[in-house]
């Protein structure tokens, strides 16, 4: 199972880390002409060149401070990180506003793209008011700290952090204990609500200063298409996947009903959220033992294989590096091994949420994880390194182009590689002794679908919630009710107990207090299968796409690298066409991958009541 996380430092502003802003004087050399004459194409080109040069100087220390804070949470690292992020984000905000002054200047297509990307580069645009800008930064830092240090205390002597509780959610089958853990973690989020309300108000003001109606239009406007058209595109893709999800939901609910009784899991209602093996019920792979096929199936137990191999955390990362090396990619720099966080320190609070960083935007690549030696984490490591190799591939481009074609591409690349962690690959690297024959595929596909298919509606609804919060359609008193309305509508998942209106359950998910846009994960879960299908074709694999591994195929690696090196220099549609041969996102690839499972699920569900 793949956890979800954000990329570390990206583009101009480390906004995915919650970095924001305070005011800073505009340097004279970067000001457009203050005469009455209209700005010229030459001035526009000089402006964008100077702006990126200045931001590069500000970005590096801000990234170093953010790393220090996330790997050593205390008052001092919080203060330094907030201060430097203010300097970076406020300057980026000023330059984004200045970029708008060149909107009507006729410049070449490359300069126009760079100007537009600069204008739309901020996740939380700070307003020009220095006090509000500083407050926005402090709120972000404070909420991240609250999340990172959050824990549930059963008594004075027994407190659990999220890592332990997440592990218990995955393995425990006592519904009362699961409910206690589920409720316990959600004690961390109510204190965030007033901060979040304030943050939305301030960031909306900043968005309006940039010429947007609200923050929702900023977030939806980063995809080389109109904001409304982008939301419609997500709905179109969801429509392709929804019938498969409904079939999976029906099977899982029926099996949970047998496990816990239909009084706990009614067969005509959404599934209680605490029973799905994950703190947020976003992926369900941890309950495979409950919902697996009755017939005996040989499914590779990667966790047991890792245990038997004696791999430590660093060796797991080196094995993931080996996968990329087999495709022809250069090995990671020595500084990666010296500076990354692979384990949770015993002496301090850290943000364990896995993330990938390029701290100097050149080759200071790192990952930040609290690795557990499981099959799930082995896939997560491959995912995070996918970010790093993407970051390295585009590091030769101008600053505003140092990002993925769209943010879903960044998340998809590592997951694409993880789809090649097949039994064939595991055998080649010595983790298992034999590849199960195709009669065992239903078990493997079901286990993967519990993560990949089950996640899709959650990936869609998180930003649907935020967009309607940002645009004011959902007022603060309705935050929690609307959250559960969306979760029931799209996921068929419900709160296991009645939730207070001020519970602020969205804040119990990292990406809300961390202000990481979430549509990228929805897109990534579909794009990865589109990428995988294309790479398997390029590699010449003639078997079922779900059994394909591109491990060791440099032809596939070269094709992948060709797309990665474009960064954000071209619209995502062009990057997609380079690898897949077509410019449209297409969820039929995920349907192709899981096709044998759909046949099996329909057979299982023949006499069941489906829907909610």
Q: Which residues are catalytic?
A: 353-354, 383-384, 387, 411, 511, 521
Token pair of 494 as six digits: 């419900």
Going by the DSSP 8-state scheme, the letter that residue 342 receives in this structure is: -
How many beta carbons lie within 10 A of that of residue 263, not counting itself?
7
Cα gap 471→464, rounded to integer Å: 11
Angle at 339 between CA 333 and CA 340, to 5 degrees: 95
Is the distance from CB of 426 to CB of 305 less than 8 angstroms? yes
Pairing outcome for strands 493-494 and 151-155: unpaired
Three-state DSSP at 383 gives helix
Q: Which helix (H) or strand (E) holds 570?
A: none
Cβ-in-10-Å burial (0-12, 13-18, 19+) of 228 comes to exposed
Angle at 455 between CA 436 and CA 538, to 5 degrees: 55
Cα gap 20→24, rounded to integer Å: 13
Cα gap 107→132, rounded to integer Å: 34
Cα gap 82→77, rounded to integer Å: 8
Q: How far is CA 369 from CA 3, 180, 353, 413, in A?
A: 11, 26, 6, 18
Cα gap 11→22, rounded to integer Å: 19
DSSP string, 316-341: HHHHHHHHHHHTTPPPPPHHHHHH-B
Rg, C-alpha atoms of the chain: 24
Token pair of 455 as six digits: 């996640």
CA 413 to chain centre: 12
> H helices within 186-329, ranges in order?
193-209, 215-220, 227-260, 288-291, 302-309, 313-326
Is the distance from CB of 418 to CB of 382 less than 8 angstroms? yes
Is the distance from CB of 178 to CB of 273 less than 8 angstroms? no
Cα gap 469→408, rounded to integer Å: 22
Closest to 206 (Cα-Cα) out of 372, 400, 13, 352: 13
How many beta carbons lie within 10 A of that of residue 454, not counting itself?
26
Three-state DSSP at 153 gives strand
Q: Which helix (H) or strand (E) holds 50?
A: helix 41-71
Cα gap 177→119, rounded to integer Å: 49
Q: Which helix (H) or strand (E) holds 41?
A: helix 41-71
How many beta carbons lie within 10 A of that of residue 306, not counting itself?
21
Longest dimension (CA), the chain: 79
The residues facing 272 across adjacent strands are 494
Q: How far is CA 568 from CA 44, 258, 441, 573, in A?
A: 20, 49, 37, 11
């Amino acid at each position: 199972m793949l956890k979800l996380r954000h990329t570390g430092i990206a583009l101009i502003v480390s906004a995915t880390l919650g970095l924001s802003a305070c005011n800073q004087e505009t340097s004279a050399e970067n000001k457009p002409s203050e005469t009455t004459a209209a700005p010229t194409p030459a001035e526009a080109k000089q402006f964008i060149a100077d702006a990126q040069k200045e931001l590069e100087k500000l970005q590096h220390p801000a990234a170093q401070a953010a790393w220090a804070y996330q790997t050593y949470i205390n008052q001092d690292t919080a203060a330094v990180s907030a201060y430097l992020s203010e300097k970076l984000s406020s300057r980026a905000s000023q330059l984004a506003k200045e970029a708008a002054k060149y909107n009507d200047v006729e410049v070449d297509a490359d300069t126009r793209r760079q100007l537009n990307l600069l204008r739309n580069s901020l996740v939380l645009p700070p307003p020009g008011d220095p006090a509000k800008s500083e407050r926005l930064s402090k709120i972000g830092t404070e909420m991240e700290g609250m999340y990172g240090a959050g824990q549930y205390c059963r008594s004075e002597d027994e407190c659990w952090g999220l890592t332990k509780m997440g592990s218990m959610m995955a393995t425990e089958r006592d519904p009362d204990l699961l409910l206690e853990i589920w409720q316990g973690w959600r004690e961390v989020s109510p204190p965030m609500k007033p901060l979040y309300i304030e943050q939305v108000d301030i960031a909306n003001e900043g968005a309006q200063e940039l010429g947007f109606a609200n923050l929702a239009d900023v977030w939806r406007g980063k995809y080389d298409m109109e904001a409304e058209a982008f939301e419609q595109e997500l709905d179109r893709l969801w429509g392709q996947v929804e019938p498969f999800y409904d079939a999976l939901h029906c099977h899982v609910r029926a099996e949970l009903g047998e496990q816990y009784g239909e009084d706990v899991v009614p067969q005509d209602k959404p599934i209680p959220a605490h029973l799905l093996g994950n703190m947020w019920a976003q992926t369900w792979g941890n309950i495979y033992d409950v919902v697996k096929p009755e017939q005996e199936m040989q499914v590779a137990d990667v966790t047991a294989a890792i245990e038997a191999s004696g791999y430590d955390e660093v060796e797991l990362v080196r094995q993931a590096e080996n996968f990329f090396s087999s495709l022809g990619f250069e090995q990671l720099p020595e500084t990666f091994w010296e500076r990354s966080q692979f384990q949770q320190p015993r002496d301090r609070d850290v943000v364990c949420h896995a993330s990938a960083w390029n701290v100097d935007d050149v080759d200071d690549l790192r990952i930040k994880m609290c690795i557990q030696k499981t099959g799930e984490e082995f896939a997560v490591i491959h995912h995070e390194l996918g970010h790093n190799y993407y970051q390295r591939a585009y590091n030769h481009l101008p600053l505003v182009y140092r990002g993925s074609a769209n943010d879903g591409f960044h998340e998809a690349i590592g997951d694409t590689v993880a789809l090649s962690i097949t039994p064939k690959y595991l055998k080649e690297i010595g983790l298992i002794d034999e590849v199960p024959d195709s009669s065992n595929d239903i078990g493997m596909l079901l286990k993967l679908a519990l993560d990949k298919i089950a996640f899709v509606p959650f990936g869609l609804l998180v930003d649907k919630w935020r967009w309607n919060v940002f645009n004011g359609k959902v007022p603060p008193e309705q935050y929690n009710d609307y959250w559960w309305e969306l979760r029931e509508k799209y996921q068929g998942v419900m709160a296991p107990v009645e939730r207070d209106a001020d519970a602020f359950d969205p804040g119990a998910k990292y990406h809300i207090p961390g202000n990481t846009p979430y549509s990228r994960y929805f897109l990534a879960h579909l794009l990865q299968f589109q990428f995988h299908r294309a790479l398997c074709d390029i590699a010449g694999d003639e078997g079922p796409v779900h059994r394909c591994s591109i491990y060791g195929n440099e032809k596939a690696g070269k094709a992948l690298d060709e797309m990665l090196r474009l960064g954000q220099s071209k619209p995502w549609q062009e990057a997609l066409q380079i690898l897949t041969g077509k410019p449209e996102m297409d969820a039929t690839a995920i349907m192709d991958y899981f096709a044998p499972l759909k046949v099996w699920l329909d057979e299982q569900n023949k006499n069941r009541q489906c829907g909610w």
